[in-house]
């Protein structure tokens, strides 16, 4: 199994998204998959120019010469596409969205019906891969992933990718702090690792494993009070520093 992963987290390996992405990719490797990870922050990916030249003038190609040519090659050669992103304004972080917009050359302009719904199939030469979403968000509730999840599921359905699941970590900054404080939350990392191993060895991730990755690690009221207090203290310090400056 060949896996290509793209992370749109500007914090790359040090981010909250990477807390889940890293063990997931390690699990895939331990399960025998060949894995490549790219950070959009290190790639040159210009926004789509919206001219449809990749459908009308040079079918299957984009006239913009940047890292998307390499991305297309990697995607065409992979069995699993992993899209990793922090939730930004309830959606995909901008640089990863640019990459997703530039997938247009990989799909046909012709509209076919899939389950009675209009869709654009993948072009010949882009095998139907599995799509996995990995994401983290700041707020406590799982419904903060709803718009992002809907977007990824719709993308998969429309072009004929097999949506293999979403590894979602809510209240991720709190999760990070608890990890650093050695609170008993490492089971979440173990679940992310298990998700990778399951995907590599069975082709699927169990709902129980996905559930374990997203489990609440702190009650909502505690989460809210803790962060409000932390910000209050931080901003008080800032005010004092400014008075002394």
Ligand X SMILES: Cc1cc2nc3c(=O)[nH]c(=O)nc-3n(C[C@H](O)[C@H](O)[C@H](O)COP(=O)(O)O)c2cc1C
**Interacting residues with ligand X (CB under 6 A):** 9-11, 15-17, 86-90, 136-139, 144, 172-173
Q: How near is the Cβ of 225 to ligand X at its closest, in Å?
A: 17
Which of 11, 230 has the CB closer to ligand X? 11
Q: How near is the Cβ of 59 to ligand X at its closest, in Å?
A: 36
Which of 51, 146 has the CB closer to ligand X? 146
Q: Do the Cβ atoms of 122 and 106 come closer than 8 Å?
A: yes
Structure tokens at 242: 């400014």
Q: How near is the Cβ of 163 to ligand X at its closest, in Å?
A: 21
Tell me the residue number closest to ligand X, measured at CB. 15
Q: 3-state SS of the chain: helix, strand, coil percent to 5? A: 50, 20, 35
Structure tokens at 196: 């990778």
Cβ-count burial of 21 within 10 angstroms (0-12 exposed, 13-18 middle, 19+ buried)? buried
Which of 159, 165, 155, 151 has its CA nearest to residue 206?
165
Which of 172, 194 has the CB closer to ligand X? 172
Q: Do the Cβ atoms of 31 and 201 come closer than 8 Å?
A: yes
Which of 178, 204 has the CB closer to ligand X? 178
Which of 98, 126 has the CB closer to ligand X? 98
Structure tokens at 114: 């899939």
Which of 152, 93, 154, 132 has its CA nearest to residue 213?
132
Q: How near is the Cβ of 184 to ligand X at its closest, in Å?
A: 21
Instruction: Annotate 107-152 with DSSP letters as a single string.
Output: B-SS-EEETTEEE-PBPTTS---EEEEEEE-SSSSGGGGHHHHHHH
Q: How near is the Cβ of 17 to ligand X at its closest, in Å?
A: 3
Q: How near is the Cβ of 48 to ligand X at its closest, in Å?
A: 21
Which of 51, 222 has the CB closer to ligand X? 222
**Spatial separation of the C-alpha atoms in residues 109 and 118, rounded to whole Å:** 11
């Amino acid at each position: 199994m060949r896996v290509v992963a793209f992370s749109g987290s500007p914090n790359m390996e040090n981010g909250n998204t990477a807390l889940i992405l890293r063990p997931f990719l390690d699990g895939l490797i331990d399960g025998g998959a060949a894995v490549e990870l790219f950070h959009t922050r290190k790639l040159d990916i210009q926004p789509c120019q919206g001219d449809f030249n990749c459908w009308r003038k040079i079918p299957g190609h984009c006239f913009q010469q940047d890292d998307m040519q390499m991305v297309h090659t990697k995607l065409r050669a992979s069995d699993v596409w992993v899209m990793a992103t922090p939730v930004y304004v309830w959606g995909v972080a901008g640089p990863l969205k640019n990459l997703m917009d530039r997938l247009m050359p990989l799909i046909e302009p012709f509209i076919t019906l899939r389950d009675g719904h209009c869709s654009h199939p993948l072009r010949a030469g882009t095998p139907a891969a599995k799509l996995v979403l990995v994401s983290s968000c700041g707020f406590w509730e799982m419904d903060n992933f709803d718009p992002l999840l809907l977007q990824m599921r719709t993308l998969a359905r429309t072009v004929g990718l097999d949506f293999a699941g979403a590894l979602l970590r809510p209240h991720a900054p709190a999760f990070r702090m608890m990890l650093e404080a050695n609170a008993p939350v490492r089971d979440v990392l173990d679940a992310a690792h298990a998700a990778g191993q399951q995907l590599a060895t069975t082709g699927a991730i169990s709902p129980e494993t996905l559930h374990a990755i997203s489990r609440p690690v702190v009650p909502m009221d505690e989460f809210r009070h803790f962060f409000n207090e932390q910000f209050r203290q931080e901003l008080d310090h800032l005010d004092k520093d400014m008075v002394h400056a």
